[in-house]
Every structure is written in C-alpha cells, then in structure tokens.
Structure 1
Amino acid sequence: MMNLAYIKDSFEQLKTRGPEGPVARLRLQGFEAFEQTGLPTRRNEEWKYTGISGLFDNPAYLAALIPEAQLESAAIDAVRLPGYLQANELVFLNGRFSPALSTIRSPKSQLTVLPLEEAANGIYKELVREHLGKSGTSIADGVHALNTSFIQDGVFVHIAKEQLLQQPIYIYNISDARQSPVLAQPRSLVIIERNAKLQLVETYHTLGASDSFTNQVMEIVIDREAKLEYYKIQEDAVTASQVSTTHIRQIGNSYVHAVTVTLSGEIIRNNLHVVMEASENEAHLYGLYILNGHTHADNHTLVDHTQPNCLSNEYYKGILDGQATGVFNGKIMVRPDAQKTNAYQTNKNVLLADEATINTKPQLEIFADDVKCSHGCTVGQLDENALFYLTARGIPKADARALLLQAFALDIINQVKPEPLRAYITQLISKRLSIQSL
C-alpha cells in the first residue's frame, strides 16, 4: 500500500514548486486532514460497500509529480463527443488541465477558463477564496483530502451573469497509462453567475493497458435564477478506477439537472452532493449503471435541504450481470429550517446473474415537520412473462432480452436533453446490452 511517508515526501516536494497563496494554503489544510483521517476502509459507514485501499498497492506515481505528458491529436480525436465543433473542450491529461490541448469557442464576455492558480492570484481571487474547498465541509474522508493535498494544474470556469451559454463545455479526463500506472487527481471550480445557463459533460478515458486511478473533485457554485445541466459518462477500461466527487452548491434559487451513466471500469465511486443554500431551489438527479464482468460501481448521493420551499428528485436504475456489484447509497437531509420541502428518491435494479450483487440503501434524515418526502428501492429479475411474449412472436431470445433491458433503461436515457448526446449514450448502451445478451 502507498505509505504515508511516501505521500508526505511527495507533498513536501510539491510545496517547493509554487508560490504561496490560497491554493497552497488549501493544499496544506488538505494534507493535515489526510494525516488525521487516512484512507477510508469498510469500517467507515460511508465506505461500507466499497473498498479502495487496494488501489494504492500499485506503484503509481502521484500525478502532481509526473512531468507534463504529451498527447498526440489522434488520441483526443478518438474520445471526442458528438457536437464537439460547437463545444468548449477542456482536456485533463493525467489529472492536469492542459490549455494547449483545450479549445474555447465561446466569447470571453460569456465564458472564462483559466488555470486554477492563475484565477486564485488574479481578478477572480475573491471568488476562488470564497468557494474553493467548500466541498470539504461535507466530505470528510481521506480520498477527498488527498485530492486537495495535491491540487496542481486545476481549472477555473466562470459563466458570466445573464449569459445563456450556447456552447456546452465538454471535459475529457484522459489518463495515459501506456507506460506505467497513473494516479490522476483533477480539480475544478465552476462558478455559474445569476441568470446564467451551462451545459456540462464529463467523460473518462484511459490509454494503454496499465492501471489508472482518477481521484477527481469538481466544485460547482450556482447563483440565483441560474441553470445547470450536468452529464457524466463513464465508459473506461476494465483496469480503470475512479473516485469522482461532484459537489454542487445552490447559493441562490436555481435549477440543477444531472445525469450519471456508468458502463464500465474496475472500481467506480460517484459522490454527487447537492447543497441547497437558498429557498426555492430545484434539483433532479438521475443515474443509470449497466455493469458486467467484475465491475464495481457505487453511486453515493446526498441532497442537503438547508432552506425552505425546495424540491429534489432522485431516480437511479441499475442492470447488473456477471459478477458485477452495484451500490446505491442515497441520503436526503432536511434541516430544521427547511420547511415545505419536497424530496423524492427511487432506486430500481435488475439482476441478470446469480453472482451479480446490488447493495441499495436509501436514507431520509428529516428534522423539519412540514415536509413531503419519500424513498424506495426494488431489486428483481427480468420479467419472464414479457420475455416469453416477445419470443412467442418470433423475436430471438437474445434480442428480446436486450429490448426489455433497453426499455427498463429508457426512463433515464430520456433525461439526457441534448439529442446528439442522447443518441451517443443510446448507442453505447445498445452495444453493451447486446454484448450482455450473447
């Protein structure tokens, strides 16, 4: 296991590389927190179903100490999303934001994209000081602290007020594991000012056959009357693992629409936290995980209602085959001041093999008395009567099975609003389900 002495030595080396400032101070706080907590184990309730300590057995280099890698343009072309010519493309290579590989197509009056430390020491320093690192208040574990300890070459994204950004932002997280294992730790801070709108899409790709581990933290701040559409697509190599934390703070009455699609990888942990810090907020969280082989995917959500008259809705679905393991651990928190809250949570799962496993744990913690909240989960198998109905009408059993599974997933697929992106995800899912059907 990667020992504390090695991590401490790496941290000390990083301290000598950059100027003093808010980012350096935050790194120090992160490392102090890491020393206190260490890596989480299954004895930690929040990590009960997902063990990650084994990921550190590989002699992976901390990405902060890897010389900046080079990547040929063909490698980026292979991972580009549909509609990229009308999108702002941000590339993280081995966890480090690369301005040279990125393309900004929106006018500067609408969108600002800067290296995080440049923003922290320039005209946006007050915004960075106010919002960077706030995710640590609700995520007190060593993995999050490790990312904070090694913030380097992060990115700052700012959507100006009143700007309904027409070009989406595509973020490509690329790990170059062609020569050796990689531990990548991307860090992002996204500010959406009042009455602005952003469509944000993230993908993950590992090049090469070596192991990769991406420990990512993205902090998003949404001001009043602003809207966010957020899409995360995880279709990575079977040797690729991720702990991906997205921490969204709705500091004004605003709207969030988030969809997470997980299709492959080794160990995947998605932390999606939404903190409603103003009244009249609305958030809709959707998730779909279609797993086979030995993939383990853990969707860990938190919706924290701190103010009154807010609405949240969660709907996650899973299809598990082979020896795959899925986890849904969703918590709705309703604070004492959050009267008139409406909060709903549903998780549905289909198991296709005896060896497949799902652990589902919906939770409500309510400290207000005038609320409407519900949660529920189901775990079952494919409907044999429906399968018989289709095969009796001449549809081959494998195709009938795939059709039923696609219909099960359709509720989530339809929540992907951009048509080209929805078609792309549908194609990935169709390919995955037909493979499972063989």
Structure 2
Amino acid sequence: MSTLTQQDTFQALFAASPENFHSIRNSGKESFLNQGIPAVKAEEYKFTNISKKLDNALTNFSTALPFEVTPSQVKSALFEGFEGDVLVFANGAFLPELSSTIEGVEISKLSDKPETSLGSIAKASKDPFAALNQASFVDGIFISVPKKSQIERPILLLSFNKENLGQVIQPRVWIEVGDFAEVTFIDQSISLSDSAYFVNKVVEVKGGVNSQISYYRLQNEGKNTIEVSNIETDILKDAKFTSVNISLSGDMVRNNLSLNLLGSNSEGNMFGVYLLNGKTHVDNHTNVDHTIPHADSNELYKGILADQSRGVFNGKIFVRQDAQKTNAFQQNNNILLSEDAIVNTKPQLEIWADDVKCSHGCTVGQLDEEALFYLRARGLDKLSAKGLLLYAFAGEVLEKIEEESFHNHVVNLIQERLGSKF
C-alpha cells in the first residue's frame, strides 16, 4: 500500500498548522481525510497518477520553511520592460520587506485577517488538494482592491521555491476586487533548486459587480517540480475575469481552474498554452459554472507536445436550469511532434437550460506538411519553418495577454523553445 493512503502520513503537516482559522482548518482536514490523495482509479485524476509521483519523489510531508531572498534575486527575476508592483514569496511565505507598497490596495498576511472567508470559493469538498491546503497552510496573503479603483500597474506575484528542510510548499492567496474596480495580476514562480518539491497552491478570487480582473500565470519551474493548483473565482453581475495560463516546464503539473458565473452579463475567459518536452506531464482541469441568465464564457487551450511528454485537458461547462441565454464556447487543440507524446482530451457540456448557445470540441494532429513545404520553398530552413508554424498555432492564445511586458516575455520564451526567433 502506498504511504499516501495512510492518514498518519500527513500528521506532521497538520501538527505544524497554526491555531488561527481553527474552524476552516478542521473542516479542511476532515474533508481531506474523507477524500485522500486520489488513486489512479479516481475519475478526476484518471490520467494523472499523482499519488505514485509523490510517493516516489518525496521522503517526508512536513512543511517547507521560508528562506532568505535577496533584493538582487528579485531584481534579476523581473522580465524586461516590466513596470509594475511586486509581491514576493519564499516557499509560499509572503515577504513584505521585499514587496511593493501599492497605493490604494490593501495587502497583509492572512494571519492578520481572521475574518477572511477562506474556503468559501475554493471549497475543500471539491478537491483533496484544496482540502489539504486548507487544513495545513501556515499563512498566506490577503489582497483587497477597493471599489472603483483603477490599478494601472500590473501586480506581480513572484514566488521563489526550493526544497528546504521540508517538501510541501502551500501558498494561500485571497484576492477581493471591489465593484467597478480593475486590476491585472501576473503569477510567476522561480525554482532555486533542482531537487523535487511539491507545491500545493490555492488562490481564491472574489470579483465585485462590474469588476475587470486579468490573471496571467507562467509555469516554468524546474524539471523535478510537482505542482497542484486550485484557482477559483466568483464573478458577479457585469464583471469580467480573464485567465491566461502558460505551462512550459515541471515534472507533473495539475491545474484546477474554476469560474463561477453568478450574475447576469458576467463574462469568464479561460485561455492556455502548454508547450511540453522531455517527460513533463501537465493536466489542465477547467470548470465553468453558469448559474444565471445572460452570461458568457470563452475557453481556448492549445498544446504542443514533444518527446515523451503528456498533456491532459478536461474542460467542463455546466449550464444550470435557470441560466437561459447562456453563450459558452470551449475548444482544445493539440499538435504532437513525437510518436511518444500523448494527449488525453475530454471537453464536456452539461446543459439543463433550453435557450442557450454552446459549443465544444477538440483536435489532435501533427504539423501541416503542405504549409511546412510552402515556407521551405520560400527560403526558410526546416527548423525555422517548423517553429514559425508552431508559434502561429500558439499565437491565438498569446494575443489574449494584454500586459505588454509579460506578453513579450512569454513570446520570447516560446519562440526560443520553438526555434522560431530569427
């Protein structure tokens, strides 16, 4: 029997948890022990055997400790052209002394905000890793954007991670954005260790009426990183939430992203690119819940897989009985560059209303040989022609990134990987 099936495996994590948020910690622990780490037979983790991966990679399940990060490390981690504010983390712990003071935005440690409704959006009952985080996170960050605030500079959540006397890093982020407010977040992690470590992240976003929120995320950590993230948001009347997730590296990565459309004329957008090589495994599970009439959702994920990499896409759209006049679009497209690369894709619609416009689909294929021949006939070498076609394939998602410096940074990373930069 795997050690991950034994309840006492995680007692060190539970024992290290502070006494604050006592009630939600207990409910998280109860929920986790009821669910357990999912076995390979679990439907939601059918193609992602994370139990085996964790069992083989980690020797203990104690809490990873924060470590010293220098100002020069922060400076060197910023991408070219970035002009925004930075919130710095080390193994999930918020470091206010290295972070920006953002005018008009309230920022504090979660331990200083006991009234925060943690777990009310990313519910522990929905995923065992969300439950584990809720039961045993040490502290986190509270970010509040007041109503009618227009935060023009992007806010970078910059996380430095490494294995350090413990192997479970559990970031916890609570973001609330007031009515008629606008803000852009960029979420980026930096690996400072080649050792295997496990990141179990939970981000809850509460968007107010007519709020405009963009959340961009870059996953480009070390090749031995194991990560599960649960990002969930409530989207109210006339509000818009846009997520763009770029996955480039890691050992095994599981992204759970859920949007709850709770008001009329709300809009939820979910875009992603996963560009994988080696033996990297990335699993994107998305969930859009239409609960109210006159709401829109758009979803487009694209994958490029080489070598022995593996991609998983499972997208779910729920349209509740009262959610008439719903517009929902979902598409997953993939290109396989190797006979050993594998993708498992499963777009899903569950519709209980009768006056809706919904579509979903998926494709898996190889490069267009005619297009490749066309480019080579016009003077491009094979590598450049191939890279150009692949970049064009991914570009439909990349153009959704409206923050210029981050867009340019991601484009450079992808072009260098694809060999299309010339």
Q: TM-score range by the shorter chain?
A: over 0.9
Alignment of 1:34-433 (within 5 A): 34-57=32-55, 58-63=58-63, 66-84=64-82, 86-104=83-101, 106-107=102-103, 110-120=104-114, 125=115, 128-129=116-117, 132-137=118-123, 140-177=126-163, 182-433=167-418
Listed one character per residue, the Cα deviations across residues 159-210 of structure 1 (whole Å, up to 9, x for unaligned) are: 0000011121101122123x56632000011000000001001012211221
Percent identical pairs in the alignment equals 37
Q: CA shift at 1:98, angstroms?
A: 1.7
Residue pair 1:236, 1:264 contacting (<8 A) in 2 also:
yes
Residue matched to 1:29:
27
Q: CA shift at 1:10, angstroms?
A: 3.5
Partners in 2 of 1:293 and 1:139 — Cα distance? Answer: 34
Residue pair 2:201, 2:229 contacting (<8 A) in 1 also:
yes
Please list every run of at least 4 consecutive aligned residues from structure 1 whose deviation after the TM superposition is greater than 3 angstroms.
Answer: 81-84, 135-139
Partners in 2 of 1:161 and 1:222 — Cα distance? Answer: 10
Larger mean Cα displacement after TM superposition, 191-200 or 144-153? 144-153
Partners in 2 of 1:209 and 1:9 — Cα distance? Answer: 24
Partners in 2 of 1:339 and 1:406 — Cα distance? Answer: 38
Listed one character per residue, the Cα deviations across residues 9-31 of structure 1 (whole Å, up to 9, x for unaligned) are: 431343xx434xxx221111101
Change (3 A) 1:414 1:422: same
Residue pair 1:175, 1:182 contacting (<8 A) in 2 also:
no
TM-score by length of 1: 0.91
Partners in 2 of 1:215 and 1:190 — Cα distance? Answer: 18
Partners in 1 of 2:250 and 2:222 — Cα distance? Answer: 5
Letter in 2 for 1:98: L
3-state SS of paired residue (2:77): coil
3-state SS of paired residue (2:69): coil
3-state SS of paired residue (1:134): coil
Residue pair 1:62, 1:184 contacting (<8 A) in 2 also:
no
Partners in 1 of 2:231 and 2:122 — Cα distance? Answer: 12
Letter in 2 for 1:94: N
Change (3 A) 1:78 1:183: farther
Letter in 2 for 1:162: K
Letter in 2 for 1:407: A
Partners in 2 of 1:40 and 1:405 — Cα distance? Answer: 35
Change (3 A) 1:67 1:288: closer
Residue pair 2:84, 2:154 contacting (<8 A) in 1 also:
yes
Letter in 1 for 2:135: S
Residue matched to 1:4:
7
Residue pair 1:40, 1:141 contacting (<8 A) in 2 also:
no
Change (3 A) 1:278 1:298: same
Partners in 2 of 1:318 and 1:214 — Cα distance? Answer: 23
Residue pair 2:28, 2:134 contacting (<8 A) in 1 also:
yes
Partners in 2 of 1:80 and 1:181 — Cα distance? Answer: 27
Change (3 A) 1:160 1:402: same
3-state SS of paired residue (1:42): coil
Superposed CA RMSD in Å reads 1.8
Partners in 2 of 1:213 and 1:82 — Cα distance? Answer: 29
Unaligned runs of 5+ in 2: none
